[in-house]
């Protein structure tokens, strides 16, 4: 919960407080899990992966994610989450094509598992927008936004509103330019 609050808050002072609190709880979980259970269960692996991701030890995070990915069945909520974290690792390692690949896999699993969260899809839309692929970015963000509106997911509304507005404006400008070009061509 503290990790999510840290991610979504706009106040930098509070962001730092929530981040430190999340780290304290994560570290406590690692100690408790490693003392009481087999360190290869899914929950322990997820905590360890997050620890390495937060600590910028990406090769180790990647190794653990690979173990988790082998266990996760495509089209499930677990697969969506594991591939989402894989995209974050790839992004931090500078592998932007692989980041998009895993965001796409995560979005597909979200769809197949009927998870209406779509964080992966709007992040993919944002990435495509930054690369100049406006048409696909627009389709993905609109799909994500429409479901967010239908299910009244307020926190996703706040997250996607900014990028939706930016992509939508760019897309509308592109359509307008195309229409003007067609008009000149017809004349």
Predicted confidence at residue 101, as pLDDT, reads 97
Question: Distance (Å, rounded) from C-alpha 129 to C-alpha 123?
Answer: 10
Predicted confidence at residue 38, as pLDDT, reads 54
Distances in Å between the Cα of 16 and the Cα atoms of 19, 24, 94, 108, 134 are 5, 12, 25, 33, 34
**Contact of 133 with 174, CB cutoff 8 Å:** no
User: Model's pTM, two decimal places?
Assistant: 0.73
**Contact of 161 with 180, CB cutoff 8 Å:** no
Predicted confidence at residue 162, as pLDDT, reads 66
List the structure tokens of 59. Answer: 């090769």
pLDDT, tens digit (0-9, with 9 covering 90-100), for 107-164: 999 989 988 777 888 889 889 988 989 889 888 888 877 776 666 555 555 566 666 6
**Contact of 42 with 71, CB cutoff 8 Å:** yes
User: Is residue 150 packed enough to be buried (19+ CB in 10 Å), middle (13-18) or exposed (0-12)?
Assistant: exposed
Predicted confidence at residue 6, as pLDDT, reads 80
pLDDT, tens digit (0-9, with 9 covering 90-100), for 27-81: 787 777 665 555 568 888 888 898 899 889 999 999 999 999 999 999 999 999 9
Angle of helix 58-71 versus helix 42-54 axis, rounded to 10: 150
Question: Distance (Å, rounded) from C-alpha 187 to C-alpha 185?
Answer: 5
Residue with tokens 């100690």: 31
Distances in Å between the Cα of 152 and the Cα atoms of 9, 34, 113, 155, 156 are 20, 39, 19, 9, 9
Question: Distance (Å, rounded) from C-alpha 48 to C-alpha 108?
Answer: 25
């Amino acid at each position: 919960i503290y990790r999510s609050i840290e991610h979504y808050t706009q106040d930098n002072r509070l962001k730092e407080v929530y981040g430190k609190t999340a780290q304290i709880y994560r570290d406590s979980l690692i100690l408790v899990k490693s003392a009481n259970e087999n360190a290869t269960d899914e929950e322990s692996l997820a905590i360890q992966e997050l620890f390495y991701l937060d600590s910028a030890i990406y090769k180790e995070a990647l190794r653990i994610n690979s173990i988790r990915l082998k266990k996760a069945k495509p089209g499930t909520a677990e697969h969506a989450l594991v591939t989402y974290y894989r995209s974050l690792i790839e992004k931090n390692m500078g592998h932007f094509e692989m980041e998009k690949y895993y965001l796409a896999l995560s979005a597909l699993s979200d769809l197949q598992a009927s998870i209406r969260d779509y964080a992966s899809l709007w992040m993919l839309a944002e990435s495509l927008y930054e690369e100049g692929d406006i048409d696909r970015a627009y389709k993905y963000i609109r799909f994500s936004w429409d479901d967010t509106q239908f299910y009244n997911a307020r926190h996703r509304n706040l997250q996607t509103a900014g990028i939706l507005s930016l992509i939508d404006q760019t897309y509308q400008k592109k359509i307008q330019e195309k229409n003007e070009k067609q008009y000149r061509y017809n004349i």
